[in-house]
Amino acid sequence: MTVFDYQQLNGIALAYLGDAVYEPFVRQHLLEKGLTRPNKLQHAATHFVSAKAQAALIALMEEDDLLDETEWSYFKRGRNAKSYTHAKHTSVLTYRISTGFEALFGYLQLAGKNDRLAQLAHWCIDQVEAGRTQHEE
């Protein structure tokens, strides 16, 4: 078995994992709310996992002083990473911020910070449910 050093990963790689790490929390939450129809689940999930929602969540994390210095550094690694793809329905800035959001979750997963990961995921879900991520288009 080789030793894996997640600290050397670029922000895009961290975001790739982070996207997959955050989504099961959202899916479980939606099922626990009683949503079972696929089209309703997919529509509801976008309120939690869209680039706009994730960018709004990062702003709330900053407003609530929720992240420590290391967590911010991994967010910035994702936000500042050179990406060769772009979002279809959002600005480049929003897309980059959401990439940072996902990189943060990737970092927490790879660092084995499962309690912190769950804490932030549930906090994010609570913010969306409370309507704190709604913004004017």
Residue 12 lies in a domain: yes
Q: What is the pLDDT of residue 135?
A: 57
Residue 134 lies in a domain: no
Asked if 126 is an active-site residue, the reply is: no
Q: What does the alpha-carbon distance between residue 110 and residue 107 come to, in Å, rounded to a whole number? A: 5
Q: What is the pLDDT of residue 84?
A: 75
Per-residue CA distances from 43 to 69, 76, 81, 96, 113 (Å): 34, 29, 29, 22, 30
- Range of 24's domain? 8-129
- Domains in the chain, number: 1
Residue 137 lies in a domain: no
Q: What does the alpha-carbon distance between residue 22 and residue 92 come to, in Å, rounded to a whole number? A: 21
Q: What is the pLDDT of residue 1?
A: 45
CATH code, 95? 1.10.1520.10
Per-residue CA distances from 121 to 21, 49, 90, 92 (Å): 9, 11, 23, 24
Residue 35 lies in a domain: yes
| Positions in the chain whose pLDDT score sits under 50 | 1-2, 136-137
Please say whether the beta carbons of 12 and 95 come within 8 A.
no
Residue 82 lies in a domain: yes
Residue 37 lies in a domain: yes
Residue 1 lies in a domain: no
Catalytic residue (choose from 19, 64, 65, 68): 19
pLDDT in tens, 66-81: 999 999 999 999 999 9
